[in-house]
Amino acid sequence: MEVPGYPPQSGAMNLTKTLPLFLFVASASCSAQTLVIGLYDYADLSAKETTRLTETAGLALADAGIQVVWAHCRGTLAVPPAAACEREMQANQIVMRINPTGLPSSNGDRVQHLGKTLATADGGQFASVSVPAVRAQAAGFGIAFDLLLGYAVAHEAGHCLLGPGHSNSGLMRAAWNRKDSEEMTRLSLHLTEQEARKAAARLSGTELAAKR
Ligand SMILES: [Zn+2]
């Protein structure tokens, strides 16, 4: 989660070298709490897996009043890439990379992190999730891979809005347990009320800034 442990040659930082940055022009359809997620799939997910993960992450965040607009920038549904991928990035837009390998750990431990976000206390715009780590954890829980992937994406999007901190319950727990995985299968794992308010406030702020 911290910048120092994140090798510049890997992960989201590299996107700036290989991908055009983009400008998302807020359209009339954007409500006050719209989050645009530019999805870069480097793991060759199927269309079904991609659809399931976006539906799941969208539902998880919708409970907090956040409407996710997906921009498919790379992967099976990105043919051609969405217009938002070609433009300069807006304040309410984040980059979500679906990584085919494990993620570098910041302290050299062997724990397989499901995802990673470059975030300060004010949030961030670059996040990634690890497909092998999510697959292994989903198998451990006995739940569908694309379901857990959706929650991992929603969790990292949460860091982009809330900063690097974790909570003792819900979507933003540092490590999920089997009970959390059962809530995922019922699609009832969410942000806490306090987190939802903070995330919505941040999105309102960024959208106001974007319109100036
Ligand atoms: Zn986290």
* Ligand 1 center–CA 156 separation, angstroms: 6
- The CA 192 to ligand 1 mean position distance, Å, reads 14
Binning pLDDT at 50, 70 and 90, where does residue 111 land? low
23: burial class by Cβ within 10 Å (0-12, 13-18, 19+)? middle
pLDDT at 103: 74
Question: Which stretches of 100-150 are assigned E, i.e. beta strand?
Answer: 115-120, 123-130
Report d(CA 16, CA 31) in Å as an integer: 28
CA 16 / ligand 1 centre spacing (Å): 23
pLDDT tens digits for 69-98?
999 999 999 999 999 999 999 999 999 999
Banded pLDDT at 122 (limits 50, 70, 90): confident
CA of 77 to the centre of ligand 1 (A): 27
Tell how far the Cα of 80 is from the centroid of ligand 1, in angstroms.
Answer: 31
| Class for the domain spanning 32-206 | alpha beta
| Contact of 84 with 30, CB cutoff 8 Å | no
C-alpha of residue 126 to centroid of ligand 1, in Å = 13
Would you say 172 and 192 are in contact if contact means Cβ atoms under 8 Å apart?
yes
Residues 6+ away with beta carbon under 8 Å from 111: 105
14 vs 25: CA distance, rounded Å: 24
User: Ligand 1 centre from 30 Cα, in Å?
Assistant: 27
**Strand, coil or helix: 35:** strand
- pLDDT number for residue 31: 46
Q: How far is the CA of 175 from the centre of ligand 1 (A)?
A: 8
Q: What is the share, in percent, of the chain residues with pLDDT greater than 70?
A: 77
With 0-12 / 13-18 / 19 or more C-beta atoms within 10 angstroms meaning exposed / middle / buried, residue 34 is buried
